[in-house]
Structure 1
């Protein structure tokens, strides 16, 4: 959501910022101001009518006491007219507010001035690279490697066939040592983020109400990407939703900020907008595991500092796994709707001879806080202010597994276990 007074006071700034997101999107400002004007007029008309009703209602009794029936009738007519105006203006107020709220709820956040302008990923800017891609002769795809590896019971350790039979496309059942490696990756990530980077581990609900998704910006605009249950709950698309909503409808003490949360959860996405993309393998599934990072800070200055810190925390996972990656600053057209600035981390995937996204870290300003009514107070007696929020992947566990399998593959089809994961896998050095 946005501060309607800010839009009213500086419409050109909002118009220009939204046009940077998408040409023509800034035209929404005129519609916003039209609904806002209608809302304010309805409120004023209702308040004026209420004043007329209240003042004349008091006079009716006096006129009757004085047996001035003509004056009493005149006053009663004024009151009746005022009541009609109040009812009509109230309906107009509700209608204008609904139109205004629906419009504001569907608009994306304002990109910061430092975010490059662009319409898609071609406009993203590389910030830096880390590590040298391994030289692998004829690298195999992770799906081929995983399916060829057999569990102790003789089944494929990356079993797409069984998953498809029970759940359909874009699902996988990991078995044996690959299942353990996925668990090891999540445990390693959580230990790193909690023990060294100061995040508090949370085990959050996987089912949330629509208000929680409205709060973080997935609703109403991206409903098609969500899985809704018959109980009017939604499966979380990312732990960003429950972690950020931990502070909804609260006024926090400034001394408690920044707050930093992390969680390892399954995530569920319909991938409605990605038909035909990455249909093979584990890159784009309906269900996947992720270690999420969320931070709650005071203001923009703190938020931008925290974005650098959070992105560094995600990068450290890749560094300790010795996986080559690059950091990308996303352009205005490629950022998520709730972000003001976003870094993507892209890991090297040998079989595709390119880098693929494995983490996205975003600074959201007060965009989510306004929708959740999450505030803080600088000192006792001070006026509450909206907090600023950040979220990032630390990391997507399935995609990290993909990167490990492909970067650590051997000519015989076995997978070397990265050094940092061996303590989590009982000392196992090779999956073969």
Structure 2
């Protein structure tokens, strides 16, 4: 039986409008706009609808960047919950993307999503018996899928260019799933982690027949979706690409790089927590967040090199571990450098890193050091790394829309990621 909210085009247009809802908007204005979208797409007119926006109804759960809107039509007894995706100007969302979706450590927006559903259950009298649909774009799709896999409250889920769910987050909530993982896997290396991802996809497949993912493969979010711990679930409907020349993440990032990025952003998240920087206060600590990220990289890249130089002076037993410590330093450098190269060649950030002589020199010097950990080789490596640390701040521009205005390739990437880019294909699908 087709339900009213089984219309992907309607759901996508409502999901796009959700981005425009701000705390300052009047409830009557929001309801009017939603009714207008429903009429324009379906021709249906509903006198009564109930709308609940997280930022207006319970703002305390949105300090971490979480936003969602629920639309309930009493006449049909149908509910649509739309989870908002990443907003380019909101550092909280990007903080969650890297420390949550990539590393699996940050689960704050999942917590907020669950609290929002508890709020709806109190507000909507027919919540338990009404037909419920969840939807989301990008980060919002990740939340919609994750909540459904954990709570099993929706009869259908629609996502658009979604960021994938993260198994490390799910195991924190799903005790039965985590027990299965502990029975079969040790999760000590990349090979074991890849087995985890495949196992997780199969484990949740039985609960995902009603999840529909509309995607364009040439989309920036794919760089998040190739990271360790993310997994595919549900049905995928793939649309033709928009970008003629799309830079695939795997052209620059190896599996080993994504495994290292997972650890880097996980350590970064825990480092910030120790300094009382949480998902709820990231916005007011933006500069400190950037500085702490650079500090972490310096510790992981520069410190092992300096220690090895000291060991060579002392010529003690610790010298034997010098090669492995420098190898650890190189893994961190390579993962970050390759990721920034991908962003630069995609047109997402300025191409400073491509032109950087220091980063190129550091790459060749690392290879030289790996074969000969002499004091002179190690010292030569320290200088070009200084320029590299400065370039890592380029990742920070992802959280600032204005910094992207003049980047040539960003408009195409953004178009591929936007919901309007899917509208024409959704219309064809409907017909």
Give the TM-score taking structure 2 as reference length.
0.27
The structure showing larger relative contact order (alpha-carbon pairs under 8 Å, at least 6 residues apart) is 1
